[in-house]
Amino acid sequence: MLICIFAENVIALAESKMEGMKSMYLGCHLSASAGYAAMVETATSIGADTFAFFTRNPRGSRARQENPQDAARAVALLKERGFGPLVAHGAYTMNLCTADPEARAFAADVLLDDLRRMEALPGNFYNFHPGSHTGQGVEQGIEYICAALRRALEPGYPVTVLLETMAGKGSEIGGRFEELKQLLDAVGSSQVGVCLDTCHVYDGGYDIVNDLDGVLGEFDRVIGLNRLKALHLNDSKNPFNSHKDRHECIGQGSLGLGTFEAIVNHPALTGLPMILETPNELPGYAREIKTLRSLAGFRNRLP
Ligand SMILES: [Zn+2]
Ligand SMILES: [Zn+2]
């Protein structure tokens, strides 16, 4: 019965997404140092039709100077070239639920500033790591993250904010679907969704290698597939359930090429932007994008 309901949901979801959309968007993480429009050009040159970038220095807090003309140019190019939604990534150091009150307040300000800057790219996604509760417990952690999100999100905000599935390293929140669901419910906004990272969920104990259907079914039961808005496609350097989070190139880690073939062809994942964060330079990303398109069914092959 559950499997039946899941299958019906998947078909309905796939059909609703198909109207006027491509069935797959593929891209990778790019350097934002030359601006938004330059990233669109770079993405186009490697066969991508989406991409990710850090909103600020990933390990620090400095944001780039804003350039509205560049953003407007990028928005026009994205539309002209049929790109899928971009998936901007918040800084790794932004821990919204750390026990240190000053660092926590600083992180909440960074989130607020990031979301305001993202208004220059309406209709796209902003993804971040929920955070590590550093010993305070999951409940307290979720409370802090929720408070920061509620403060930063205004009704009608034009960007969807995505919580990332984590490997469950240390005191990370988001290693279990239940934690993300609790967080989504607590924030109570339809402007928040989930970005599923293939390396993280496998390291976190969700067996997408042997049972992708089962894991997506569990996601649907716990969170709802309608909240899944993007994927990070990464192979893993570590075995199943290792809670490590070390990315590997596609097909060279414990997930293997067959897992990615199943992912790019899965009807529940139709139309979602899929972002590579593998240890690669541009030529490596271009090869992986080509490989993934060749693995996809006929409809998914063209950029
Ligand atoms: Zn991430
Ligand atoms: Zn990772």
Which pLDDT tens digit goes with each residue over 61-95? 678 889 999 999 999 999 999 999 999 999 999 99
For residues 42 and 129, give the distance between their C-alpha atoms in angstroms, rounded to a whole number.
Answer: 26
Amino acid letter, residue 198: T
The answer to whether residues 194 and 227 touch, using CB atoms and an 8 Å cutoff, is: yes
Spacing, Cα 111 to ligand 2 middle (Å): 19
The domain locations on the chain are 2-296
Question: Band of the pLDDT at 1, cuts 50, 70, 90?
Answer: very low
The rounded radius of gyration (Å) of the Cα atoms in the chain is: 18
For residues 27 and 216, give the distance between their C-alpha atoms in angstroms, rounded to a whole number.
Answer: 22
Question: Band of the pLDDT at 138, cuts 50, 70, 90?
Answer: very high
Ligand nearest to the CA of 164: 1
Ligand nearest to the CA of 199: 2
| Structure tokens given for 55 | 């909103």
At the second CATH level, the architecture of 2-296 is Alpha-Beta Barrel (3.20)
Question: Band of the pLDDT at 10, cuts 50, 70, 90?
Answer: low
pLDDT, tens only, 250-272: 999 999 999 999 999 999 999 99
pLDDT, tens only, 208-226: 999 999 999 999 999 999 9
Ligand 2 ion local residues (Cβ < 5 A): 245
For residues 164 and 52, give the distance between their C-alpha atoms in angstroms, rounded to a whole number.
Answer: 13
Spacing, Cα 109 to ligand 2 middle (Å): 24
Question: Which positions are annotated as active-site residues?
Answer: 59, 89, 92, 129, 164, 197, 200, 232, 245, 247, 277
